[in-house]
Structure 1
Amino acid sequence: MTPSATVPSANHLLGLHGRSEELTAVDSLVERLRTGRGGVLVLTAPPGLGRTALVDYAQAARAPLPAAELAAGTALPQEGPILVCVDDAHIWAPAARAALAAELRCMPAGRSVAVLLTLAEHRPGADEFAGLPTLRLGPLDDIAAAAVFDRLTPGPADPVVRAWLIREAVGNPRLLAALVAPLNPAQLAGRSPLPDPLPGGEGVLDAYATRIDGLPGGARALLLLAAAAEEHEPDGTGADLALLLRAGGDPAWLGPAEAAGAVVAAGGRIHFTHPLLRRALLRRAPLARRRAAHAGLAAVCGDRLSGLVQLACATGGYDARLADALVAEATAPRPHAGRSDALARAAALTADPALRTDRLAAAAEEARLAGDPVRARALLARTGAVPAHGGVHRVRGLLALADGPAADAREALMAAAALLPPEPARRALMGAAEAAWAMGDAAAYLEVMTRVPVCADDPSLEAYRAGMCAVLAGRTEQGHDLLRRCLGDVPRTGEPTGLLRAGVAALVVGEVEAACAAGARALAAVRAYGPEVLLPRALEHLAYGELRAGRHTRARAHAVEGLGAAHRIGQPNVAVSLHAVLALAASVEGDEEACAAHAGAAAAGAGPHGLTQPATLAVWAVARADLAAGRPGDAAARLAPLVAPGPRGGHFAVRMLAVPCFVEAAVQAGRPADARRATEEFTLWTAATADRLAPAQLARCRALLAPPQSAASAYESALAHHDRVPGEFERARTQLLYGQWLRRRRRTREARDPLRDAMVAFERCGARAWADRSRGELRAAGESVAGEREPGPLAALTPQQQRIARHVAEGATNREVAVRLSVSHRTVDHHLRNVFAALGVRSRVELSRLLAGEGARPGRDEEITAHL
């Protein structure tokens, strides 16, 4: 046993990133030792994941306790306190391991000796330490791996290079350090292409390969065939055992390979226990043997593309015929990931630089469609500096549209369109228009759409193009007629892009149910046929349509699924939009905390990337939550810039949708002039739009602004409009406002019916906060609500007194309470004095403490009764 004064090295400390659970476990072991108690912790992990880093950490953290490293065959110390470290116990002789394990199991609880022991995984017979407290180290997640990468690269690194190296390291910090080390600054900065394959990491790969070094030659030959066969298989699917046997593999050697922990056989396929073991096998095999394995597989592959991929792996240098054959096979109905792989291999076999760039750009596009932006960007990086290649610019623009500033995406796609033939140029321009839409730049959107060539061979696309141009140019009626032609193709088409386009057209003309139908069909088509890249977008379109239709619970479910898909596929811009949808859903459901969190996430992502639409939706959501909570002044302040024309306004397609909410907030906040101006513009928009809900919302706005003698008939007119269209949530909001208006004028008996109907409708919609508002109004109108009783000290107060007391306890002034409840300042003064008398309190501070459960009376200096 040797005393240790180990200081963790910088490289070892890299392995501590993302290891909070493991560090907590080590700290707990050391802390037990400080209190005179012993313990054991076994850390197990494949090579390179940080076992030794944690041992170094423990030795540095144990001060002032002594520490020692235990040599093989040495007994544990009898007295402590002492921290004993046993790193890589798997390399000990079996007898020494067994003796140590037996001693650890019978170590007395009062013995002040702590043992930290590390083991590699998948070693045959490594069960001596079974039953002892064990923690398995998994690979680093992408966030922790990124932190390691940033520590390894002192200068600026290209994001594409960063993402690709992190993927190649598969969460192994030691391998990541080994891959970064050989690269020069130009390669790290993205100015020079990365070598393919990447150098470095041989030491880590050798450590993985040690588990098969002792296997017989036949077993190693079978494993090499399995590693080579996975070159033409999708990731994670393993190798076909029948194919290996046709290529000469001996099934008798499968058992020893499994016993060594190298592979697992299941369902007629062989899976390596770790991807780095497969990589180590291919890297370490002599070139001649590796090429022979690929050639043998190529001769027996039943699928033509699989055989061509194996031939490409067996080929050195350029081969034009083989490259052409790979390109010819990289077509539908093959999956996009397989097409991307075939095109990338064809590019590697192509001598002509221009043709090689074409094939790399095509491979990148297929990777993008497969939902793999990291690989797509890595393939584009191999093209080097290609200033005038339309395909490269198009893929870069589409990648930026999903993960980058919208303005950058628009410029890249416009540049691509100028370089591409007509059909791909049209697709690039449609992408540029989508970027302009996300930016909220109506003029830029119209400019791009006018450049899209007439689509004579696609009537639906042409109707969409011409219709959107007409609407943005102010020819609304003509535009709506054209856009409705897109909807006629919804039942007959199964192409996801066309269905999503039809959904947008339906929302523009106000056909919300048609938009939902198109979104549902698009989602079904993507699930059945792909491409994977459209899954988050399809879920976003459907969720937004359901939100507009008032189906908030269903919208939330689809948005949650879409958010997970967007993060998985690498589409943060779509994730931003989905956060905005979830904020809107939460504003209806009354979950203020969730609304604020999702709105904050949307704003944080929308700002840097210039995404005006989700930013507008997020503000609208928070304002609606303010309204539900009785804060109309806050709601009006948030919405005023969004509904006003000019550079500070919100998104051009959302602005008018938020006006009814603003009018309600502005009227309740005492800003009737602002409400009238917004209503005037909303009147013009309602006349031009086909949105079926707009007339009812306009009637509600007019009722809010109507003089007392005509307000009741205005509300009745609004409800009559609601009766002719779907939208239960919006109808309930009108009923609530009508009931409030009646109650404020002491027509309490008449107020109860609309308030009761509003409460029930909000409950059906899952709009808890709005239902609570209706319930409070109903109580204030003199009707008890079944199952409702104000708990605690407020039980003795009238419903109106309860509401005033709660607002005051939250810190609102009397004038603010008057605005929230639509009553006079004098009424609030009167009720608040009665509240103080009924509760036996003398100040606002004391009222706040009483409602918070404190009950303590403040001193005289805290009393502010005089300010009532």
Structure 2
Amino acid sequence: MSGPIATTCPAQPADPSGPVDAPATPAAPTAPAGPVGPEGTGPAEAGLLLLVVAEGERDARADGVDASVVLRAAGACGLGAGVLDAAEAAGHLRLDGGRIRLLDPGLARAVRAAAPPARRRAAHRLLADAHAGGPSALPVLFHRASAAVAPAPGLGDALAAAAASPDGRPTHAERSAAWARAAGLAVDQELRAVRLIDAADQARLAGLPHSARELLARAGCERPAGAVRGAAQLVSGLLALQDGPVADAREVLLLAAESLDPADPPRALAARLAAVEASWAAGDAAACAEALDQGPGQPGSDPLLAAYRAGMSAVMHGRPDTGRPSLREVVAGAGTAAGVHDGPETLLRAGNAALVLGDLAAAARADSRALAVARATGPYVLVAQALERLAYGELRAGRHARARAHAEDGLRTAAGAGQDNLAAHHHAILALVASVEGSPETVAEHATAAERVAAAHGLAQAATLSQWARARADLARGRLAEAAARLGPLVGAGPRRGHFAIRMLAAPCFVEAAVRTGQTEAARSAVAAFAHWSEQGADPQAPAQLARCRALLSGPEDCEALFAAALARHDEVAGDFERGRTQLLYGAWLRRRRRPGEARGRLRDALVSFERGGALGWAAQARAELRATGDAGPGEPAGPLTLLTPQQLRIARCVAEGATNREVALRLSVSPRTVDHHLRNVFAALGVRSRVELSRLVDRAEKTTAHP
């Protein structure tokens, strides 16, 4: 049975880039007899499917193929217009918005397996002709190269030149496919390896890590020397940075930089900047500084890039005052040149610089623009990274709903691009958001996912964020001892300390938990370190948090003034959540000082702040404190719980959650003896004889209140 593609194949189209030495091919080759498509498809439908699959080989990331190109090729070999309707009716493909999409991912493999090589080459010749006269030479050259029989060095050179062109039309996936085809036509083995390495790099940028690794393996990365080996190591290190142990990635990237220094300084610099990123993810500040400082300076290099390196180097060496002017230059210079559109890498560096400076608004602008550019023009691999930076910045600014939206989008994108390390960071951010929104189960789910990858790949940043999220969830539930135990190692000195860029952000949580569990000296030590960090201006919330921490550690004569100072500093920056936490602690202090009227005002303000920011778990704490002042409000107890006093009700709820008497005492700032006294009265009032019975009764009553 002969297929329709083999019947009327037109002559080879003219090469738009000039003459090449492709071997001669007959104008109308005759395909060998045999099947032309998957089992159950007719000749015409199989021919159309082969054209769709062959066109799809140009861009593995594309959402379908251009229907007009495929239909021109189909018409040139006598396939009628009805063949598309037949294939669509059979459930093989769908025409939507001018694009043809295969409905079964495995169909492409079946089509390739069923079509003999000669018929596949004929399909590519038809598609080359269909693309002739278009805006880009690359599709024509790609299909001609796919139809050629190697070696064809002239055609390979023309295709490689088109793949390397600065023309912005081809995607990274298209360029990768073109480099790979050009490599197959090369005679020289080193040239073949270079083209395969370039193909691998473009596949990496397209978010196709498996293809990138396969292409590197075909290149034989271990054999070439010098710059060729360095280029292969650079791609390998960047792939490991996306999904692998980051310490290993850093070493490979530094080796790549050494190999590339003499012949390719720009790529050597790219390798060192990636090594900085790997060191940052690992939480190794000294390695960050070392990678920033290495390498010769380049005359005429990008001044903003030079300023970024100088500024970040100063910060990593513990000289933030020295580094700030350079980092401000980076932030101010991004996107300001007339007629010049910064790439996403430049914008992401500006966003990093802004975060280090504590300018969260500038960081959001730069990272938002980086995301827009990466989505519009690529590289695809930077989309998840831009979303992670945006989510982290929104988290720092206290906009948790926005942080969640970016992180959820980033998690999907990272998973689709094989970026497990970035996916772990997105999980950690989502755990932190959940610790505010009041879902312990969601915190545990995302923290566990982050920690699983962080442990295997050495991601100190993701591990620290996830532990902070778990501790903050403990704080929201009043589990103070657990929160202090989690955060103590992260904010203190020693080998178990947290990531250098995050440990001070978590310090206020530790101080609160430590003070309320009697660990006063540890809290004072953390406050001293936090005060030094706050002076650097890297976090707009830090001055208010510092005053709050000092209030927790002060005596009655200074406490109220420090809480008031904290609230005044909160008024200078946005962020409902942190302001609500200060109001909650202030209100609880006023209640314990037997000033219920003043306490209610602060606690109501805290409740409004938490509800406005979606901090449901913390809102529950504010409501409980309000009840303890005698304030009646929504969510009041139902059934037998109405027999309890506000303090008895709080103790009953804590015990129902599984807290011990000592934990309840710490949570409510009373003595264990007081808890024991109230609990005996609770048992008597409710007619229960055990903590298990009490838990069941409270659970039933709470459900009745929630669902009357």
TM-score interval, normalised by the smaller of the two chains: 0.7 to 0.9
Shift of 1:736: 0.7
Partner of 2:83: 254
Partner-residue secondary structure (3-state), 1:318 = coil
Deviations 1:521-576 (A, max 9, x none): 21122222221111111111101100110000111111111111111111111110
Q: Does 1:310 align with 2:143?
A: yes
Partner-residue secondary structure (3-state), 1:350 = coil
Q: Does 1:298 align with 2:141?
A: no
Question: Of 271, 278, 284, which residue of structure 2 is paired with 1:441?
Answer: 284
Note the 1:687-706 alignment, pairs <5 A.
687-706=535-554
Instruction: Report if aligned partners of 1:603, 1:615 keep a CA contact under 8 Å in 2.
Output: yes
Partner of 1:779: 627
Partner of 2:356: 508
The 1-side partners of 2:239 and 2:470 are apart by 30
TM-score w.r.t. length of structure 1: 0.71
Shift of 1:593: 0.8
Question: Of 291, 309, 321, which residue of structure 2 is paired with 1:465?
Answer: 309
Note the 1:377-526 alignment, pairs <5 A.
377-386=213-222, 388=225, 389-420=229-260, 421-454=264-297, 456-492=300-336, 494-526=342-374
Note the 1:658-697 alignment, pairs <5 A.
658-697=506-545
Deviations 1:611-659 (A, max 9, x none): 0001000000110111110111110000000001221100000011111
The 2-side partners of 1:816 and 1:269 are apart by 62
Shift of 1:610: 0.3
Partner-residue secondary structure (3-state), 1:665 = helix
Q: Does 1:355 align with 2:208?
A: no
Shift of 1:222: 6.3
Deviations 1:500-530 (A, max 9, x none): 1111111111112221222212112222222
Shift of 1:840: 3.2
Note the 1:314-393 alignment, pairs <5 A.
314-330=147-163, 331=165, 332-333=167-168, 334-386=170-222, 388=225, 389-393=229-233
Shift of 1:849: 4.4
| Pair 364,742 (structure 1): closer, same or farther in 2 beyond 3 Å | same
Q: Percent identity?
A: 55
The 2-side partners of 1:290 and 1:763 are apart by 62
Note the 1:53-452 alignment, pairs <5 A.
209-212=38-41, 215=43, 228-232=54-58, 236-237=64-65, 240-244=69-73, 247-251=76-80, 254=83, 258=87, 261=90, 266=95, 283=113, 285=115, 287-288=117-118, 290-302=120-132, 303=134, 304-330=137-163, 331=165, 332-333=167-168, 334-386=170-222, 388=225, 389-420=229-260, 421-452=264-295
Q: Which amino acid aligns with 1:784?
A: A
The 2-side partners of 1:526 and 1:273 are apart by 27
The 1-side partners of 2:648 and 2:91 are apart by 74
The 2-side partners of 1:352 and 1:793 are apart by 87
Partner of 1:83: none
Instruction: Report if aligned partners of 2:454, 2:463 keep a CA contact under 8 Å in 1.
Output: yes
| Pair 586,414 (structure 1): closer, same or farther in 2 beyond 3 Å | same
Larger deviation, residues 596-605 vs 491-500: 491-500
Instruction: Report if aligned partners of 1:440, 1:611 keep a CA contact under 8 Å in 2.
Output: yes
The 2-side partners of 1:287 and 1:528 are apart by 36
Question: Of 835, 838, 841, which residue of structure 1 is paired with 2:685?
Answer: 838
The 1-side partners of 2:121 and 2:672 are apart by 88
| Pair 643,316 (structure 1): closer, same or farther in 2 beyond 3 Å | same
Deviations 1:50-76 (A, max 9, x none): xxxxxxxxxxxxxxxxxxxxxxxxxxx
| Pair 601,292 (structure 1): closer, same or farther in 2 beyond 3 Å | closer
Partner of 1:724: 572
| Pair 782,383 (structure 1): closer, same or farther in 2 beyond 3 Å | same
Partner-residue secondary structure (3-state), 1:645 = coil
The 2-side partners of 1:278 and 1:819 are apart by 63
The 1-side partners of 2:673 and 2:48 are apart by 90
Instruction: Report if aligned partners of 1:219, 1:253 keep a CA contact under 8 Å in 2.
Output: no
The 2-side partners of 1:607 and 1:808 are apart by 34
Q: Which amino acid aligns with 1:460?
A: L
Q: Which amino acid aligns with 1:473?
A: H
Shift of 1:839: 2.1
Deviations 1:712-765 (A, max 9, x none): 111111111111222221111111111111111111112111111001100000
Instruction: Report if aligned partners of 1:735, 1:755 keep a CA contact under 8 Å in 2.
Output: yes
The 2-side partners of 1:828 and 1:597 are apart by 33
Instruction: Report if aligned partners of 1:732, 1:762 keep a CA contact under 8 Å in 2.
Output: yes
The 2-side partners of 1:360 and 1:781 are apart by 72
The 1-side partners of 2:699 and 2:99 are apart by 64
The 2-side partners of 1:211 and 1:577 are apart by 47
Shift of 1:280: 5.3
Instruction: Report if aligned partners of 1:439, 1:610 keep a CA contact under 8 Å in 2.
Output: yes
| Pair 265,482 (structure 1): closer, same or farther in 2 beyond 3 Å | closer
Shift of 1:255: 7.3
Q: Which amino acid aligns with 1:301?
A: H
Instruction: Report if aligned partners of 1:467, 1:483 keep a CA contact under 8 Å in 2.
Output: yes
Instruction: Report if aligned partners of 2:37, 2:111 keep a CA contact under 8 Å in 1.
Output: no
The 1-side partners of 2:305 and 2:365 are apart by 18
Shift of 1:789: 1.4
Instruction: Report if aligned partners of 2:567, 2:582 keep a CA contact under 8 Å in 1.
Output: yes
Q: Which amino acid aligns with 2:217?
A: A
Instruction: Report if aligned partners of 1:348, 1:356 keep a CA contact under 8 Å in 2.
Output: yes
Shift of 1:339: 0.6
Shift of 1:251: 2.4
Q: For structure 2, which runs of at least 5 residues remain unmatched after alignment?
A: 1-33, 702-708
The 2-side partners of 1:270 and 1:249 are apart by 19
| Pair 323,600 (structure 1): closer, same or farther in 2 beyond 3 Å | same
The 2-side partners of 1:794 and 1:564 are apart by 45
Shift of 1:300: 4.9
Instruction: Report if aligned partners of 1:298, 1:306 keep a CA contact under 8 Å in 2.
Output: yes
Partner of 1:629: 477
| Pair 826,592 (structure 1): closer, same or farther in 2 beyond 3 Å | same
TM-score w.r.t. length of structure 2: 0.86
Partner of 1:609: 457
The 1-side partners of 2:504 and 2:81 are apart by 73
Partner-residue secondary structure (3-state), 1:670 = coil
| Pair 296,595 (structure 1): closer, same or farther in 2 beyond 3 Å | closer
The 1-side partners of 2:353 and 2:499 are apart by 17
Size of the alignment, in residue pairs?
646
Shift of 1:305: 1.6
Q: Which amino acid aligns with 1:401?
A: L
Instruction: Report if aligned partners of 2:70, 2:127 keep a CA contact under 8 Å in 1.
Output: no
The 2-side partners of 1:631 and 1:233 are apart by 53
Shift of 1:711: 0.9
Instruction: Report if aligned partners of 1:222, 1:244 keep a CA contact under 8 Å in 2.
Output: no
Shift of 1:843: 4.5
Instruction: Report if aligned partners of 1:664, 1:701 keep a CA contact under 8 Å in 2.
Output: yes
Partner of 1:742: 590
What RMSD, in angstroms, separates the aligned Cα atoms of the two structures? 2.6
Shift of 1:246: 6.3
| Pair 724,824 (structure 1): closer, same or farther in 2 beyond 3 Å | same
Partner-residue secondary structure (3-state), 1:657 = coil
| Pair 745,382 (structure 1): closer, same or farther in 2 beyond 3 Å | same
Q: For structure 1, which runs of at least 5 residues remain unmatched after alignment?
A: 1-204, 855-868
Q: Which amino acid aligns with 1:478?
A: T
Shift of 1:286: 5.3
The 1-side partners of 2:326 and 2:509 are apart by 30
